Amino acid sequence: MNRQKIILAVTGLNNTDNPGPGVPVIRSIKESKDFDVRVIGLVYENLEPGIYMEGLCDRIFQIPYPSAGSEELTERIEFIHQQEKIDVLIPNFDAELFSFMKNEGRLADKGIKMFLPTLKQFQEREKDKLPAYGKKYGVKVPDSMNLGTINQIADMEKKFNYPVMVKGQFYDAYPAYNEEQAKQAFRKVSAKWGLPVIVQEFVAGTEVNVVALGDGKGNTIAAVPMRKQYITDKGKAWGGITLADDKMMELTLSLIHKTQWKGGLELELIKTNSGEYYLVEINPRIPAWVYLAVGAGQNIPEALVKLALGHDVQPMTSYKIGKMFVRYSYDMIVDLERFAAISMNKEI
């Protein structure tokens, strides 16, 4: 069978102890029987491990951080596009999504297709708006409060008992068991991710997640639930297992239907001992553990590329239960020339 040749650009090659989804996304699409893919890795840092992984990317380009402004980022993508005619681009960081969404039309005019949530979908699920989101779509969410200053911790204490979760707008979450820890976490999170800092009621239970893909018309194209079996000190899954949980699937399907979600997403849920599910976060992109879904039978990145290209994609409804992933770390030996090339030329 003839495979369609595509040029795919992917960000998030930081396969560190806080891994980005880029490497598993590329791995998934390389396994596609429908695509013959040339991969362009887009990196922010010159030590992102994906740069140095043999056989992963055909070319690498460094791109400016979104904080430099979306214009600069878009111009850099357009420059890369002049050399490599990018068919599809998959951004994999929360923090860069806004810039890519804002310039989706401009990039599409140039022939670069993406499959992103709408700005409304992206913004209404932001952590500081989660209580309103839960109410609107009928999902249980932990109560939360947005803090603009450290002095508001006193107000927060009137509303919540310790422990609480202190969260950044984009990343990072720390449990705080007393005022001192709450202040420490506030300083850490606000210095890195700005304000507001979100304080969330602590819900005790088991952390479970769903990776899913919505077609933007209310249909769930793919969904696989997972339980983290091994969690790092950064709260990242280092091992996980697929579950047979009808309630999680119902919740996912209903949420995608009601929100008409477009693109990949990850639902972070807490299952309490009484069997209730609390939605603690929605990540508006494919998560780093997506390859588990591929191993269980649902190639979500491949389906996302097809949707971006305007192909008709039928929903995947089954997956293997009890499939596990276990991460590992691995030392690559790298020649200085490669490091020098990305550092000096901003491309390899």
Instruction: Map residues 28-47 to x or -, x wherever contact with another protein holds by CB under 8 A.
Output: --------------------
Beta bridge partners of 270: 207, 278
The single residue among 195, 241, 309, 341 that binds another protein, judged by CB under 8 A, is: 241
By CB under 8 A, tell whether 149 contacts another protein. no
Q: Which stretch binds another protein (CB under 8 A): 109-117, 179-187, 241-249, 304-312?
A: 241-249
Count, residues near another protein per rule CB under 8 A: 12
Question: If binding is defined by CB under 8 A, does position 150 make contact with another protein?
Answer: no
Position among 229, 272, 343, 345 found at the interface with another protein (CB under 8 A): 229
Q: What is the DSSP string of 307-339?
A: HHTT---PPP----TT-EEE----PPP--HHHH
Q: How far is the CB of 85 from another protein (least distance, A)?
A: 44
In angstroms, rounded to a whole number, what is the distance separating the alpha carbons of residues 243 and 231?
Answer: 17
b/e sequence 31-40, b meaning 16+ C-beta within 10 Å: ebebbebbbb
Q: How many beta carbons lie within 10 A of that of residue 304, not counting itself?
A: 28
Whichever of 102 and 227 has its CB closer to another protein, that residue is: 227
Q: Is 206 in the site for another protein (CB under 8 A)?
A: yes
Q: Which of 165, 149, 125 is nearest to 259 (CA)?
A: 125
Q: Furthest-apart CA pair in the chain: how many Å?
A: 65
Q: Determine the Cα–Cα distance for residues 31 and 216; give it in Å rounded to an integer.
A: 25
Torsion of CA 210, 244, 240, 175, to 10 degrees: 60
When the beta carbons of 67 and 229 are compared against another protein, the nearer one is 229
Among 197, 198, 243, 286, the residue binding another protein under the rule CB under 8 A is: 243
Extract the tokens encoding 84: 């490599």
Q: Does 322 bind another protein (CB under 8 A)?
A: yes
Q: Which stretch binds another protein (CB under 8 A): 56-64, 86-94, 127-135, 224-232?
A: 224-232
Q: Is 326 in the site for another protein (CB under 8 A)?
A: no
Within 8 A by CB and 6+ apart from 317, the residues are none
By beta-carbon proximity to another protein, the closer residue of 8 and 243 is: 243
Query: Pattern of binders to another protein over 185-204, x per CB under 8 A?
Result: --------------------
CA geometry: angle at 305 spanning 313 and 169, to 5°?
A: 110
Binding mask 271-310 for another protein (x = CB under 8 A): x---------------------------------------
Told to check if 231 binds another protein by CB under 8 A, we report no
Rounded Cα distance, 90 and 112, in Å: 10
Find, among 79, 109, 112, the residue nearest to 7 by Cα.
112
CB 12 within 8 A of CB 39: no
Q: How far is the CB of 287 from another protein (least distance, A)?
A: 17
The correct pick among 245, 266, 268, 302 for binding another protein (CB under 8 A) is 245
Is 227 a binding residue for another protein by CB under 8 A? The answer is: yes
Binding site for another protein (CB under 8 A): 206, 208, 226-227, 229, 241, 243-245, 271, 321-322
